[in-house]
Structure 1
Amino acid sequence: MRTVLFASLRTYARRYAAAVVAVVAAVALIVVTNALTSATKSGLFAGIDAPFRNAAGAVDFPTEEVTEKYVEKGGWALAMSMQPVRTEKTMLGQDIMVGAVSTEKRWQWQELKSGRFPTRAGEAVVDANAAKTNKVAIGDTLKVGTGKSAVETTVVGLVDAPSMWSAPVYVTWPEMQGWKNPYVQTVMTAGTGDEADKWMNTDDYLTELQTQLNKEVDVVAYMVLIFAFIALFVSVLVITNTFSILFAQRMRDFALLRAMGATKRQVLRSVRREALALGLLASLLGLLVGAVLGWGIVALVRQLAETAPLGDVSLEWPWLLAAFVLGTLTTLVASWLPTRRLMRLSPLAALRPQEGFDVRGAGMFRLVLGALTTLAGTAIIFVAVGWDDAQTGMLIVLVGCGTTFLGVMLLGPALVPGLVRLAGSALAKVAGSPAKLAAANAGRNPKRTAATAASLLVGVTLTTGVLTGMNTIRGATLDEMAEQHPIDIALQSESKPLADSVLGDAKAVPGVADAVAVPGAMASVEAGGKPVSLPVVAPPASDVPLMDLTVKPGTMVISPAAASAFVENSFEASGEKATLVVGDRRATVTLDVREIDGAPQISAATLRELTADPQTYAVWVRADAGADPEDLAGTLGVLAPDAELANGKAQRAWVELQLDVFTWAVIGLLAISVLIALAGIANTLGLSVLERGREHALLRALGLTRRQLRRTLAAEAVLLSAVAAVVGTALGVFFAWGGSEILVGDILPDATFDPPVLQLIAVVVVAGVAGLVSCVAPSRRATRVSPAEGLALD
């Protein structure tokens, strides 16, 4: 039987192409995940101990009191703050990470590239790569921060630092203390600390830190592995269908082996060895492809993003072994179902005409079970939508989605051919007889048609579900961001009125669509017996903001940060009263605390109570749709250097970018399973061409032209792909609705379900076009055979 095994592999090698592609893609995805994970870990861990070389120990996430306690004892804080940074000519960014650098040599852990370290406040160092990108040189003056808390500092050196702790700009600790609530991740101690402060010695702290980072990186790896398992599942469907067709075509060969004396067990063992050899070969190839892709992707990321925290790739044997075993087992499991038919094979089958296909559809038991399962899954989803607890409700939704999808898969042999015939009838009005033949061919083997469509159905369902869910989340999130940041860019004075020229200069800046001057006054609020200065503005009637910002008389809309200057718990201060004072005038207002950009806002009537001569304390800008928010902010910031600049457009753009990156990353991973499914359709169609060789020759002999035959095969592939895409889209939208009602409704109560119609149509169209492309090779093979040669085929 070993001779039979090698002969079969040589003879049917081309027919196994889709199965090999499916396994290679899934195994390679696992190896690529390992490569990216290892590179990320090595990049993060490189130089992780650099700041701690002279530290006795450290306290993680210390309180302000603990930080001050150990700094006073000679320790040092690893701190950072997000601040706007500008030079005399341009703005580096609205939210730049600013770290702290010590004036003591002991805590100067950064690697000095040129210049020197600061020796006093008012001096700073800049990351060498950031300096190169932003054209900053030693001797330049940077303005860091806004308003009264802004500091001017001179660049005295360029440094390099491990990616874990790096920042574009470093200022001294006294300057950082002048900003509100700098973020302190760790405070390093010069001596032994107190256990009550959760102090750990340096070795224990670094071990704990590496463990935490490992978990964070592994979480990302596990997320990617989910998509690898999806690809494996699709691979099982493709391989099962491929083996089913091959075994159906080779049934007479197997029966002939039985007639020549081979036992059922020997035939079965030969076929399973064939599947094992295919699995081993595909898995080894997948390991090789994954390793090459992994190194290539890491190298490409390093080339495109020099600051990306990627180190050396280290392929770990547990990952490689797991990928290899999973690829092999996937092939064996997928081939197990078709091989069961061999146990019922009789030697007399060698003397019967070869049927080539199975016209039987699904049995009544399967159809009833499928219908009941689909209804049960749908009911579970509707029950979950009304569940109070979002986390439990989401788990129930997932169960409902899985149950519904299983029911649809069971109904596949009846559902898919029926829809193909229906679509074929409509297509026949345009394409004529080829479409009728295509619909008839697709319905001749219902189980095979359903199995072929099932692999694409998985990928399309997940893809459209992600697109719909993310579009709903995107719309709700952007609406909320528009409420929090309705002004594209605001120039806000914190001490004195803006110059009259600022408004005209702002309107003249390229990228500015419109601007409006906002009247206000410098008021004060009594807090603890001391007046707290507070600029207030009255939003004018204008279409510059994204929404109407009119404030009710007697109300002051204020951010929690501004309210914290005169109330204890600013987040719960809404409804409290405060008295504004301007000169000898007073006005009592009710606080409405919410996230806003710029100064507290009052009504025009309240402003008139406070002053008879309001001044321009802010300029609000509406940017052009395509304007770069950072570049525009840099240009506008120069117009009023002492004003605080709030860049709402940048905040909205950043959130939108994160949503886009996440969405397309998931779509990209799911695309692997879709490509595997399309390879399966091409393979099924190719095997079908071989199987129906005599049939095609007879059609040619009866007058069907080569072009009509190509159109028939093309219509069959398009109908199969389009039907799978339409059913998958319907399921994906329904599943996304259930998930969004639970998850999004709990986090964003005002969110509305918003399926991306154009994108969903694009998915169906792309699936149809991909199906058309997948038929090119099989149709060329079919048309090369002349009618006489085809009729001679067995």
Structure 2
Amino acid sequence: MKRSLSDHVPSVLVATLSAAFGVSLLEITSVLATVISADNVTGSSTTVGLLLSIVAIVFIVIAVYVGAIVTSNTFSTIIAGRTRTIALMRLIGSSAADQRRSVAREGFMVGVVGAILGAIVGTLVTMALVVISVSSGFIPMLGYSYLQPVLFLPIITVVLTTWLASWIGSRRVLQVSPMQATGVAIEMSREESGGRRGRNAVAIALFAVGIGFLVLGMLVGLVSPLGVLVGVVGGLLSFTGLVLGAHLVMPVALRLTGRMFGSSATARLAAENAVRYPERSSRTTIGLVIGVTLVTMFAVAVESYQQMIRVAQESQPEVYQGVDQTLSVTVIVFSVLMGFSALIAAVGMVNNLSMSILQRTRELGLLRALGFTARQVRSMILAESAQLTVAAVLVGLVLGIFYGWAGAQSLLGSIQGSPGFVLPVVPLALLGILVVAAAVLTLVASVAPSRRATRVAPVAALAVE
């Protein structure tokens, strides 16, 4: 089944951002290593070198993991919207194996294009950042290296995960009977999602074990910075458990946020729609959850990092003399990472929410046929999108604060003059920015697609493929 490139613009864009995120992460870490090594104070410190190596490993893991989750989620959303088309192809004679190979080829090509574009974008962003920093005198002019073999890791990972996402996604789609091509794409109900006991048990176990590793990492971090590696394992396990069990977590958050939008007919219908199909809601929100978690994690980590360094500097000023410049460079690095994270969150949310609305043209046509006006349908979609956004932001904030604090604590808990355990430092300005940005994204992601969907006549919408 042939598809034009325009059909895959959302997934190519997310794959590009994921690859750019990973490539830029590694290049910026390399630049930071060069700056620190050239410093008379920090360059001779074995502790600083060890911390930097650990941070580089952590960044690599984050880049690989984020690329895997975001691209997989986006392609799964696309595949879910093509259930009926693929079932129709099977009805007219195409085999399940042919369809699955076709979808896998699409995923592979999307991954290749996105990875190449991402590598170029990530390198250009890093080079621009270095040029600006050097010209402003923030960092010295040194022999910075951008092209390194380790950069192939995020590139290859984006290709493989996009291909794997298409292969796994097609397995669910191809379970649809060819006779169901005469119906609509089917999403799992709450009862069906909750009844998958095996997956639910695995999700809960991963989350619980991951939290245990995070706590262990913080304890190990009191004696060694290697505790952050234990914490990274815990973060990956716990977040993987959250992704697998998102159909259990998100409906709870959605029910709580649904009460904030009143008791009108459109608000009640929007609240019910948000929890009726947990898998659809989870696919729509998980990208934003990831983005908000990353942004919050980096913000809390850098604030906690600065506080712990300052406390240690006050306790042993002779040990930390001259680290202010390195501290400033590190803050800039984390700010760039937050920018990339915010961009991934924005694109992922707009793509998934827009596609989700456009894939529901038949559902919206039915509401119009039952008497809903176009304005009521748009109000319902906006309320539903707002509920999804608020729920995703709340979940992301909670996770990001905990992950950021755990990361800083496990990495710096053992440095000389460390105050031991500290409370997480949450920048209040971040909360305001996230709320405003989420509101804008909700409008962008829901208003335009809902207008396009409601412009279709009810009879035509009910007949749409």
TM-score scaled to structure 2, two decimals? Answer: 0.79
Alignment partner, residue 388 of structure 2: 720
Tell me what 1:414 maps to: 248
Structure 2 residue 108 is the aligned partner of structure 1 residue 440? no
Alignment of 1:184-333 (within 5 A): 223=55, 227=59, 230-305=62-137, 308-310=140-142, 315=147, 318=149, 324-333=155-164
Distance 2:282 2:339 in 1: 21
The 8 Å contact of residues 303 and 426 in structure 2, kept in 1 or not, is answered as yes
Letter in 2 for 1:765: V
> For residue 4 of structure 2, what is the aligned residue in structure 1?
9
Amino acid at match of 1:404: S
- Describe the superposition over 1:611-640 as per-residue Cα deviations: whole angstroms up to 9, x where unpaired: xxxxxxxxxxxxxxxxxxxxxxxxxxxxxx
Partner of 1:355: 185
| Cα distance in 1 for residues equivalent to 2:414 and 2:51 | 24
Equivalent residue runs for 1:561-640 within 5 Å: none
Asked if residue 666 in structure 1 is aligned to residue 325 in structure 2, the reply is no
Give the conservation status (yes or no) of the 8 Å contact 1:459–1:670. Answer: no
1:472 & 1:356 partners in 2: Cα distance?
A: 46
Amino acid at match of 2:197: M
* Equivalent position amino acid for 2:278 in 1: P
Helix, strand or coil at the partner of 1:714: helix
1:733 Cα deviation after fit:
2.9
- Secondary structure of 1:344's match? coil
2:346 to 678, 681, 694: 678
What does the per-residue CA deviation read over 1:396-437, in whole Å, with 9 as the maximum and x for residues that have no partner? Answer: 4444444333333333111102211221122225xx444333
Q: What is residue 18 of structure 2 aligned with on the other side? A: 26
Range with bigger deviation, 743-752 or 417-426 = 743-752
- 1:332: how far off? 0.6
Q: Which amino acid aligns with 2:364?
A: H
Distance 2:29 2:310 in 1: 31
Change (3 A) 1:469 1:236: closer
CA distance in 2, matches of 1:457, 1:760: 15
Work out which of the residue numbers 252, 255, 259 in structure 2 matches 1:425: 259
Work out which of the residue numbers 423, 428, 438 in structure 2 matches 1:768. 438
Matched residue type, 2:248: A
Does 2:449 align with 1:778?
yes
Query: Which letter maps to 2:76?
Result: S
- What is the distance in 1 between the residues matched to 2:303 and 2:158? 34
Query: 1:412, 1:338 → 2: CA distance?
Result: 17
**CA displacement 1:740-794 (0-9 Å, x = unmatched):** 5555554423663143262463365156325413334323433443445434434
Distance in 2 between residues matched to 1:378 and 1:232, nearest whole Å? 21
- Specify whether residues 785 and 255 from structure 1 end up closer, same or farther in structure 2 by C-alpha distance, changes over 3 A only: closer
Please give the root-mean-square deviation of Cα atoms over the aligned residues, in Å: 4.2
**Could you say what secondary structure the match of 1:712 adopts?**
helix
Task: Give the AA of the match of 2:164.
Answer: V
> Where does structure 2 lack aligned partners over 5 or more consecutive residues?
none
Per the TM alignment, residue 24 of structure 1 is displaced from its structure 2 partner at its CA by: 1.0
Q: 1:217 to 1:749 in 2, by over 3 A?
A: closer
Amino acid at match of 2:4: L
Label 1:398 to 1:270 Cα distance change in 2 as closer, same or farther (>3 A).
Answer: closer
Q: Please tell me whether residue 455 in structure 1 is matched to residue 287 in structure 2.
A: yes
Match of 2:197 among 364, 368, 387: 364
Q: How far does the alpha carbon of each residue in 1:25-50 deviate from its partner, in whole angstroms, 9 at most, with x for none?
A: 23334555677689899x99xxxxxx
Counterpart residue type for residue 9 of structure 1: S
Amino acid at match of 2:453: A
The amino acid of 1:408's aligned partner reads: L
Letter paired with 1:458: I
Q: Distance in 2 between matches of 1:38 and 1:396?
A: 23
Unaligned 5+ segments in structure 1 are 45-162, 166-182, 185-208, 486-594, 597-650
CA 398–253 in structure 1, closer or farther in 2 if over 3 Å, else same = closer
How far did residue 19 of structure 1 move? 1.3
Instruction: Tell me, in whole angstroms, the C-alpha distance in 2 between the residues paired with 1:38 and 1:753.
Output: 30
Report if aligned partners of 1:381, 1:401 keep a CA contact under 8 Å in 2: yes
Contact 2:22 2:63 in 1 (8 A): no
- Distance in 1 between the 2:305 and 2:22 partners? 29
Give the whole-Å Cα distance in 1 for the aligned partners of 2:65 and 2:409: 28
Contact 1:456 1:677 in 2 (8 A): yes
Distance change (3 Å), C-alpha of 1:367 and 1:323: closer
Distance in 1, Cα, partners of 2:25 & 2:227: 31
Cα distance change on mapping 1:311 and 1:733 into 2, 3 Å: closer
User: How much has 1:21 moved relative to structure 2?
Assistant: 1.2
664 and 782 in structure 1: CA distance in 2 versus 1, 3 angstrom threshold: farther
SS at match of 1:775: helix
Q: Residue 739 and residue 479 in structure 1: after superposition, are their counterparts in 2 closer, same or farther (change >3 A)? A: same
Give, in whole Å, the separation in 1 of the partners of 2:141 and 2:433: 34
Structure-2 change in CA distance of 1:373 and 1:253 (3 Å): closer
Q: Is the 8 A contact 2:16 2:115 kept in 1?
A: yes
Deviations 1:627-676 (A, max 9, x none): xxxxxxxxxxxxxxxxxxxxxxxx99x86675454245224214423422
Q: Name the aligned partner's letter for residue 724 of structure 1.
A: A
Identity, % of aligned positions: 31
Q: Classify 1:257/1:222 alpha carbon distance in 2 versus 1 (closer, same or farther; 3 Å).
A: farther
Aligned equivalents of 2:219, 2:206: Cα separation in 1: 21
The match for 1:158 is none
CA distance in 1, matches of 2:440, 2:88: 39
8 Å CA contact 1:19–1:235 kept in 2: the answer is no
Instruction: Classify 1:746/1:771 alpha carbon distance in 2 versus 1 (closer, same or farther; 3 Å).
Output: same
TM-score normalised to structure 1 length: 0.49
Distance change in 2, residues 1:675/1:435 (3 Å): farther
Partner Cα distance (2:301, 2:138) in 1? 33
Who is 2:207 aligned against?
A: 374
Cα distance, 1:774–1:659 mapped onto 2, change above 3 Å: farther
SS in structure 1 at match of 2:80: helix
Distance in 1 (alpha carbons) for counterparts of 2:23 and 2:216: 40
**Aligned-partner Cα distance in 2 for 1:731–1:700:** 39
Q: Which has more strand, going by share of residues?
A: 1
Change (3 A) 1:273 1:306: same
1:221-271 deviation per Cα after TM superposition (whole angstroms, max 9, x unaligned): 995685465345334333333333333333333233223332222222112
Contact 2:29-2:56 at 8 Å conserved across structures: no
Deviation per residue, 1:120-174 (Å, 9 max, x gap): xxxxxxxxxxxxxxxxxxxxxxxxxxxxxxxxxxxxxxxxxxx979xxxxxxxxx
The amino acid that maps onto 1:337 is: I
Of 357, 360, 365, 1:697 maps to 365
Moved more, 27-36 or 669-678: 27-36
**Contact residue 234 and residue 673 of structure 1 kept, 8 A:** no
Task: Say whether the 8 Å CA contact 2:23–2:123 is kept in structure 1.
Answer: yes
Structure 1 residues 660 and 767: alpha-carbon distance in aligned structure 2, compared to 1, 3 A threshold: farther
Aligned to 2:199, what secondary structure does the other structure show?
Answer: helix
C-alpha change, 1:372 and 1:292, in structure 2 (3 Å) is closer
> How big is the shift at 1:23?
1.3
Equivalent-residue separation in structure 2 for 1:746 and 1:225 (angstroms)? 19
Q: Distance in 2 between matches of 1:776 and 1:379?
A: 42
Higher relative contact order (CA 8 A, sep 6+): 2
Q: Deviations over 1:274-307 (max 9, x none)?
A: 2222222223333443454455445444544497
Counterpart residue type for residue 432 of structure 2: A
Do the aligned partners of 1:725 and 1:767 also contact (CA within 8 Å) in 2? no
Range with bigger deviation, 256-265 or 697-706: 697-706
